[in-house]
Amino acid sequence: MPGEYHLAATVDVNPDRESGVDGITYEVMIDEVRMPMMNVIQTFTLDPDMFQVIDAAELFHSNVGNTYETTLRPGKEPLGLGLSRSYVLRPKSEISAEYLQNYTDVYVKISYGPEDQRKEDYIHLQAKPSSRMIEYMKF
């Protein structure tokens, strides 16, 4: 893990009992920065096996398209930067348990700094599942 900031990921399930279509949400959070980080860009993707679990055209998500720059400084607002994405889960009857083995794997890229001195950190995280997610995975 980088020493300049704290990085964590979570995963939660959003069951919809009315429609029967469940969702899964991933969030990556940077906080507790120990040095100024200019123009922070967060990007994450999931394990390729998740294509068999979620109904999506891509597993990639980023804040690179934001119309504003985010700079993080120790003890200053904003105190952190989160990036989240929700996906539609395939029906449980279509999901094989072998594809769920890596559902907590999140591959993150954090890029920051002035344009001529960008620093890029590549990190493999294990997303912390919510209690609701753990219960859902017992099917």
Query: Average pLDDT, stretch 109-134?
Result: 95
Count the neighbouring beta carbons within 10 Å of the beta carbon of residue 53: 20
3-state secondary structure 93-107: HHCCHHHHCCCCEEE
Kindly report the pTM of this predicted structure: 0.92
Whether 72 shows a pLDDT value over 80: the answer reads yes
Residue 28 neighbours by CB under 8 Å, 6+ apart:
7, 8, 9, 42, 44, 82, 83, 84, 106, 108, 125
- 136 falls in which pLDDT band (50, 70, 90)? confident
Phi then psi for residue 105, to 5 deg, are -75, 125
Indicate the range of 75-84, 96-105, 111-120 predicted with least confidence. 96-105
CA 87 to chain centroid, in Å, comes to: 11
Q: What pLDDT does 139 receive?
A: 67
Question: Of 135 and 67, which is predicted with more confidence?
Answer: 135
